[in-house]
């Protein structure tokens, strides 16, 4: 049961951004039992790139996993399909394999690096604004 829903958003704070992650890009998970499937979906959820799901009926779905619900009667994941509007809801029971197929957009980037860059940009903006104010005689 693959269902398509209208576009919704999910707070991305749930993603584990800014933490060190093992290199997942290119990895293929072929779980042998439900516990391995849960672990594979969790890893794919934490992955910051597109994944390709191989479904048990032979279809493949590529997209970005933005949510998963594993503690419900029929565990599901939700993803934004690549090059398509909306979102898909896929029951765990339909997943045969998960490949981290897209580029990990945050690979090699850390919260600390982002914070440093942001602070530098703010400092440069403050200096530019002060120079402009001084040129107008306001400082």
**What is the pLDDT averaged over residues 13-32?**
60
Helices (H), 64-110: none
Cα angle, residue 84 at apex, residues 24 and 29 outer, rounded to 5°: 25
Local confidence band at 16 (pLDDT 50, 70, 90 cut-offs) = very low
**Which band of pLDDT confidence, cut at 50, 70 and 90, is reported for residue 60?**
very high
Q: Tens of pLDDT along 108-117? A: 556 676 677 7
Please report, for residues 51, 71, 100, 107, the alpha-carbon distance to residue 36 in angstroms, rounded to integers and kept in the order given.
Answer: 17, 15, 16, 24
Say whether pLDDT at 66 is over 90: yes
Q: Give the pair of three-digit tokens for residue 83.
A: 């090059």
Is the confidence at residue 14, as pLDDT, over 80?
no
Q: How far apart are CA 117 and CA 81, in angstroms?
A: 31
CA gap 38, 44 in Å, rounded: 10
**Strand extents, DSSP E, 7-134:** 28-29, 51-55, 60-69, 76-81, 87-91, 95-99
Beta carbons within 8 Å of 128's beta carbon, 6+ residues apart: none
Residue 7 is predicted with a pLDDT of 34
CA–CA dist 48, 15 (Å, integer): 8
Answer yes or no: are the C-beta atoms of 65 and 14 closer than 8 Å.
Answer: no
């Amino acid at each position: 049961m693959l269902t398509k829903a209208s576009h919704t958003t999910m707070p991305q704070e749930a993603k584990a951004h800014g933490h060190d992650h093992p290199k997942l890009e290119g990895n293929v998970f072929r779980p042998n039992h439900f516990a391995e499937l849960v672990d594979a979906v969790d890893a794919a959820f934490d992955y910051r790139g597109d994944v390709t799901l191989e479904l048990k009926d032979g279809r493949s779905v590529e997209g970005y996993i933005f949510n998963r619900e594993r503690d419900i009667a029929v565990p599901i994941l939700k993803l934004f399909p690549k090059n398509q509007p909306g979102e898909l809801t896929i029951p765990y029971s339909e997943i045969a394999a998960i490949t981290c197929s897209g580029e990990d957009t945050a690979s090699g980037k850390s919260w600390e690096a982002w914070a440093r860059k942001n602070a530098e940009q703010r400092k440069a903006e403050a200096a530019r604004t002060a120079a402009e104010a001084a040129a107008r005689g306001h400082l």
